[in-house]
């Protein structure tokens, strides 16, 4: 077989499939760290976006409060100059939102109208204490610049509160949001300065918590931490470790920070698993690819081998046909010309013609049977047979051919064997093939032993030679079609590589088997094992041989 063709096929597979996939795998492995870092940064950004959305939501809430307040005074502009009306509005406003604990308006001339929830520690009769008012005034003076900028922004339509942490009593976490109240339909018109007191914890529970829960696909855990004490004041579920992947200050209450992490894993672990899964997946693909390529190459190789063997077969068979035909023709011509005078020579020629035509028939039978077996048309008709008689007939018929080649067959055929269910023609063909091989591969040793014996529930016919022998590694292969052992004789001894294939098939059809025992340089013994049904053996009968 052309080795270069196989090499080209392997090279094509390597270049077209293996090389790209292997390169991708190697690239993936080399890039693993970089990919992990990239993946991690992508996930981090995603987590940041989620926190941003929560913050934005808090701001939207604040804006809705601002709109609510300003729209009231916009509808009733005169109410602003009536403190009782303002106070009533503020009360309604404060009581509508559980996280708002108080609100006030400050007119341009520094007058305050307030409504405080009783729960606010600084409240007296729902009014903000004078001390607190003073404090607010001080803040307004101190943060004048910031409040002016805020007012400018409000005029442009962006209301950003000026945020003050209001912790006058221990453990009372409040935040004061100062903002200008503007006419939303005419931003230039600033109505007044307003303030809202919010209770941090209620704000977190009500507004932040609600947002967390609406966003929380089970893959995230959210928390809120007090940055000054480091204490975690809220979490969407119980967490063992309080190390969170990402955090961001809460815009509305900057002393608190929003935190987020993946549920059940860390970002680091998560990205590591992702990239590792990728590599494992690629490795599996590589293995599958390699094994299928190995399988395909093996298949192609075997097919090429078979094609080569078929070619050899044609050459061998042509040679095998030509040699006996040439002999037959030569002897027939000699006889026809009447040149052969001596009776003895004539007999010799006749016998040669007979023997060669027998060999031809044998070869042709092998080929025809093989093709019948291949197309599943071969049928066998099994009959209870005296196998010893059958073997004797074969030997008688074959004797001349064998002795002419200088071979001696020693037979040891047991008497009175049970009848064996067999197809006589097929078994004859099998035995002739074995004797033929014993002659062909005799390597100069011209003894052949044939034994027939019963062993338990089998009758065994063995053909033993003392010739070339078969290496152990080849002993099963010789039964494959067209298979011929590579040795010096294979080129000089012609054969089709079909003989033993037929023998094996014949034995399978007899529910028996063919075995080989062989040693290189010492010879081979092929045995045909016919099973006998001991119960039905009685029915088939036993031979009475003499």
Where do contacts with ligand ADP occur on this chain (CB under 6 A)? 433, 437-438, 440-441, 465, 467-470, 478, 483-485, 490, 495-501, 524
Shortest Å distance, C-beta 325 to ligand ADP: 18
Quote the CA–CA distance of 211 and 231 in Å, as a whole number.
Answer: 21
Shortest Å distance, C-beta 345 to ligand ADP: 32
Q: Which is nearer to ligand ADP, 70 or 524 (CB)?
A: 524
Shortest Å distance, C-beta 331 to ligand ADP: 25
Per-residue H/E/C for 103-169 = EEEECCCCCEEEEECCCCCCEECCEECHHHHHHHHHHHHHCHHHHHHHHHHHHCCCCCCEEEEECCC
Q: What helix, strand, coil percent values describe the chain, rounded to 5? A: 55, 20, 25
What DSSP assignment string belongs to 216-241?
A: --TTEEEEEEETTT--EEEESS--SS
Quote the CA–CA distance of 20 and 27 in Å, as a whole number.
Answer: 10
Q: Which is nearer to ligand ADP, 182 or 500 (CB)?
A: 500
Shortest Å distance, C-beta 350 to ligand ADP: 27
Q: Round the CA-based radius of gyration of the chain to a whole number and report it.
A: 53
Q: Which is nearer to ligand ADP, 424 or 516 (CB)?
A: 516
* Interacting residues of 309 by C-beta distance below 8 A, sequence separation 6+: 481, 482, 483, 484, 497
Shortest Å distance, C-beta 364 to ligand ADP: 14
Q: Which is nearer to ligand ADP, 90 or 478 (CB)?
A: 478
Label residues 88-125 b or e (16+ Cβ within 10 Å = b).
Answer: ebbeebbeebebbbbbbbbeeeeebbbbbbeebbbbee
Shortest Å distance, C-beta 402 to ligand ADP: 14
* Interacting residues of 384 by C-beta distance below 8 A, sequence separation 6+: 419, 420, 421, 540, 541
Shortest Å distance, C-beta 521 to ligand ADP: 11
Per-residue H/E/C for 398-462 = HHHHHHHCCCEEEEEECCCCECEEECHHHHHHHHHHHHHHHHHCCCCCCEEEEEEEEECCEEEEE
Shortest Å distance, C-beta 389 to ligand ADP: 25
Q: Which is nearer to ligand ADP, 259 or 436 (CB)?
A: 436
Shortest Å distance, C-beta 434 to ligand ADP: 7
Closest among 238, 255, 259 to 247, alpha carbons compared: 259
CB contact at 8 A, 487 and 528: no
Per-residue H/E/C for 270-298 = HHHHHHHHHHHHHHHHHHHHHHHHHHHHH
Quote the CA–CA distance of 462 and 525 in Å, as a whole number.
Answer: 6
Shortest Å distance, C-beta 440 to ligand ADP: 6
Closest among 203, 239, 199 to 223, alpha carbons compared: 239
Q: Which is nearer to ligand ADP, 167 or 475 (CB)?
A: 475
DSSP three-state, residue 78: helix
Shortest Å distance, C-beta 16 to ligand ADP: 38
Residue closest to ligand ADP, measured at CB: 495
Q: Which is nearer to ligand ADP, 419 or 484 (CB)?
A: 484
CB contact at 8 A, 51 and 41: no
Q: Which is nearer to ligand ADP, 150 or 514 (CB)?
A: 514
Quote the CA–CA distance of 9 and 26 in Å, as a whole number.
Answer: 24
Q: Which is nearer to ligand ADP, 161 or 497 (CB)?
A: 497
Q: Which is nearer to ligand ADP, 142 or 519 (CB)?
A: 519
Q: Which is nearer to ligand ADP, 13 or 441 (CB)?
A: 441
Shortest Å distance, C-beta 518 to ligand ADP: 7
Q: Which is nearer to ligand ADP, 126 or 411 (CB)?
A: 411
Q: Which is nearer to ligand ADP, 127 or 465 (CB)?
A: 465
Q: Which is nearer to ligand ADP, 318 or 347 (CB)?
A: 318
Shortest Å distance, C-beta 282 to ligand ADP: 46
Shortest Å distance, C-beta 436 to ligand ADP: 7
Quote the CA–CA distance of 318 and 321 in Å, as a whole number.
Answer: 5
> Angle between the 424-440 and 499-509 helix axes, to the nearest 10 degrees?
150
* Interacting residues of 81 by C-beta distance below 8 A, sequence separation 6+: none
> 169: burial class by Cβ within 10 Å (0-12, 13-18, 19+)?
exposed
Closest among 274, 234, 242, 233 to 261, alpha carbons compared: 242
Residue 525 parent element (H or E): strand 523-531
């Amino acid at each position: 077989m052309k080795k270069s063709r196989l090499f080209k096929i392997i090279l094509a597979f390597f270049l077209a499939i293996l090389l790209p996939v292997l390169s991708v795998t190697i690239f993936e492995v080399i890039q693993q760290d970089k990919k992990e870092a990239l993946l991690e940064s992508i996930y981090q950004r995603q987590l940041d976006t989620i926190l941003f959305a929560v913050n934005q939501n808090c701001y939207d809430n604040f804006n809705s409060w601002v709109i609510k307040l300003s729209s009231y005074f916009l509808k009733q502009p005169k109410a602003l100059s009536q403190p009782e009306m303002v106070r009533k509005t503020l009360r309604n406003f404060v009581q509508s939102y559980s996280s708002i604990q108080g609100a006030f308006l400050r007119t341009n001339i520094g007058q305050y109208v307030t409504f405080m929830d009783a729960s606010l520690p600084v409240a007296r009769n729902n009014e903000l204490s004078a001390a607190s008012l003073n404090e607010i005034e001080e803040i307004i003076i101190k943060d004048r610049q910031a409040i002016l900028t805020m007012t400018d922004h409000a005029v442009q339509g962006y209301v950003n509160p000026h945020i003050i942490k209001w912790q006058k009593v221990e453990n009372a976490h409040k935040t004061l949001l100062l903002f200008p109240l503007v006419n939303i339909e005419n931003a230039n018109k600033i109505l007044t300065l307003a303030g809202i007191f919010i209770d941090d914890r209620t704000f977190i529970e009500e507004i932040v918590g609600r947002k967390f829960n609406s966003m929380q696909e089970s893959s995230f855990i959210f928390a809120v931490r007090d940055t000054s004490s480091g204490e975690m004041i809220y979490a969407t579920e119980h967490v063992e470790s309080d190390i969170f992947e990402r955090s961001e200050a809460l815009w509305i209450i900057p002393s608190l920070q929003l935190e987020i992490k993946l549920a059940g894993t860390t970002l680091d672990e998560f990205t590591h698993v992702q990239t590792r899964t990728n590599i494992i997946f690629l490795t599996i693909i590589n293995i599958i690819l390699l094994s299928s390529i190995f399988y395909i190459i093996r298949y192609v190789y075997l097919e090429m081998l078979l094609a080569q063997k078929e070619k050899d077969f044609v050459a061998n068979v042509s040679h095998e046909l030509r040699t006996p035909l040439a002999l037959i023709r030569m002897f027939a011509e000699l006889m026809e010309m009447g040149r052969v005078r001596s009776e003895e020579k004539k007999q010799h020629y006749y016998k040669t013609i007979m023997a060669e035509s027998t060999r031809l028939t044998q070869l042709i039978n092998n080929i025809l049977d093989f093709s019948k077996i291949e197309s599943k048309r071969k049928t066998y008709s099994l009959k209870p047979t005296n196998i010893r008689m059958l073997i004797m007939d074969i030997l008688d018929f074959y004797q001349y051919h064998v002795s002419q080649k200088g071979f001696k067959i020693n037979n040891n055929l047991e008497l009175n064997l049970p009848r064996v269910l067999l197809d006589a023609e097929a078994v004859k063909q099998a035995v002739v093939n074995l004797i033929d091989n014993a002659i062909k591969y005799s390597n100069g040793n011209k003894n052949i032993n044939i034994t027939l014996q019963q062993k338990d529930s089998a009758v065994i016919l063995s053909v033993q030679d003392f010739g070339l022998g078969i290496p152990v590694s080849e002993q099963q292969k010789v039964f494959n079609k067209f298979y011929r052992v590579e040795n010096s004789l294979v080129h000089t001894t012609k054969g089709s590589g079909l003989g033993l294939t037929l023998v094996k098939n014949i034995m399978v059809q007899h529910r028996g088997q063919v075995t080989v025992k062989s040693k290189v340089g010492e010879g081979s013994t092929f045995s045909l094992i016919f099973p006998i049904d001991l119960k039905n053996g009685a029915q088939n009968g036993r031979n009475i041989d003499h």
